[in-house]
Amino acid sequence: MRRASAPREALVKVESVGICGSELEGYLGHSSVRVPPLVMGHEFCGRIAALGDQASGLSIGDKVVVNPLIACRACASCLRGDYNICRNRQIVGIHRPGAFADYVAVPVDSAIRVPQEMDASLASLAEPLAVAIHAVKLKCRPLDDLLIFGAGPIGLLCAAAARQMGIGRIVVLDLQPARLAHAENMGAIGLSPRSIEERREALFPRGIPVAVDCVGVQATREQAMNLVDPGGSVIMVGLGQGRSELPMNHLVRQEISLIGSYTYSPEDFRQAVDLLIRGDIAIEGWTETRPLNEGPAAFRELAEGISRFSKIFLKP
């Protein structure tokens, strides 16, 4: 039997891997953590091809999705249960080779079995869906309305997760009409950021308690702070710009909370997998699957904003 190189690792034959917006930053040379030479790819599904001598719980041929965040489980953050902000964390596709390849080695404890018949691209949404679940769980309450900046994959999945949580009206802002159409198809109201000011009172008669910024640039961060209610919260997920000049006096006077949201807990990831297995999240219409050798073209289209799809999966 083939074995993985490390005793507690599994070798996964990749069946589908999604292109993440953070990887576009690496592609463009704007990422401080994705430094060449590097095999990226952290949103993936595949089958167990080999197991290390001390790997247990899975069998050769099992279909799995992988939680790419590897926590040390020994630092102060981990001892509090905050594995997502582990001080020594490693992430597949950043600190170790990722899944834009035929095979990828991962800790066996990071792999979660999914049904054999499950679509591999759908299963690959587990990681970004977990990001969305973690973000909306930080401050959103059932029946409250929600404003989301960005109709890319994380914004759309935030809308989907919010609907599963029983959130009230969901409005998604984006500049691209095709992406706004995807948001509408998912049950949200899609608007240009220029339109929200004049329609704010009609759409949010009880105010905007929470805004989730899935873009992370000066314009979206500032607009979110200006639109949210006094005492409201802005959940900051997007990493578009490392620095922004923000209206801090407005934040102080209105007691607005800025809350960073990074990755997910193990519970968030498991909840994402469960939602996907149940068929509660759809990929039709806003995603596309291509061969891995078309990856350069896919990255280029997404980076230039000319793809009509919000998410592209690559299949080795």
Q: CATH code for 130-260?
A: 3.40.50.720
DSSP β-ladder status, 69-70 and 146-149: unpaired
Sequence-separated (6 or more) residues with CB below 8 Å from residue 125: 18, 43, 157, 272, 276, 281, 283, 311
Mean pLDDT of 96-122: 97
**H helix count then E strand count, the chain:** 11, 15
For residue 236, give the H/E element and its range.
strand 233-236
Residue range(s) occupied by CATH 3.90.180.10 in the chain = 9-125+283-315
Q: What confidence tens digit (pLDDT) does each residue in 292-316 have?
A: 999 999 999 999 989 989 999 999 9
What is the per-residue pLDDT for 4? 62
Mean pLDDT of 182-208: 95
What is the per-residue pLDDT for 127? 98
Residue range(s) occupied by CATH 3.40.50.720 in the chain = 130-260
What is the per-residue pLDDT for 1? 43
Q: In which region does residue 104 sit, left (phi positive, over 0), alpha (psi from -120 to 50) or beta (all else)? A: beta
What is the per-residue pLDDT for 122? 97
105 touches 5 (CB < 8 A): yes
Q: Which three-class secondary structure string do you get for 135-169?
A: HHHHHCCCCCCEEEECCCHHHHHHHHHHHHCCCCC
Q: What confidence tens digit (pLDDT) does each residue in 17-51 have?
A: 999 999 998 999 888 889 899 999 999 999 999 99
User: 191 pLDDT exceeds 80?
Assistant: yes
User: 2 pLDDT exceeds 60?
Assistant: no
What is the per-residue pLDDT for 281? 95
189 touches 203 (CB < 8 A): yes
Which one is predicted more confidently, 3 or 170? Answer: 170
Residue 221, classified by CB atoms within 10 Å of its CB into exposed (0-12), middle (13-18) or buried (19+), is: buried
What is the per-residue pLDDT for 223? 98
Strand partners, 188: none
Sequence-separated (6 or more) residues with CB below 8 Å from residue 295: 19, 100, 314
Q: What confidence tens digit (pLDDT) does each residue in 246-289 have?
A: 999 999 999 999 999 999 999 999 999 999 999 999 899 999 99
Instruction: Report d(CA 112, CA 106) in Å as an integer.
Output: 11
Query: Of the candidates 58, 39, 32, which has an alpha carbon nearest to the alpha carbon of residue 314?
Result: 39
55 touches 8 (CB < 8 A): yes
CATH architecture of 9-125+283-315: Alpha-Beta Complex (3.90)
| Confidence at 3, pLDDT banded by 50, 70, 90 | low
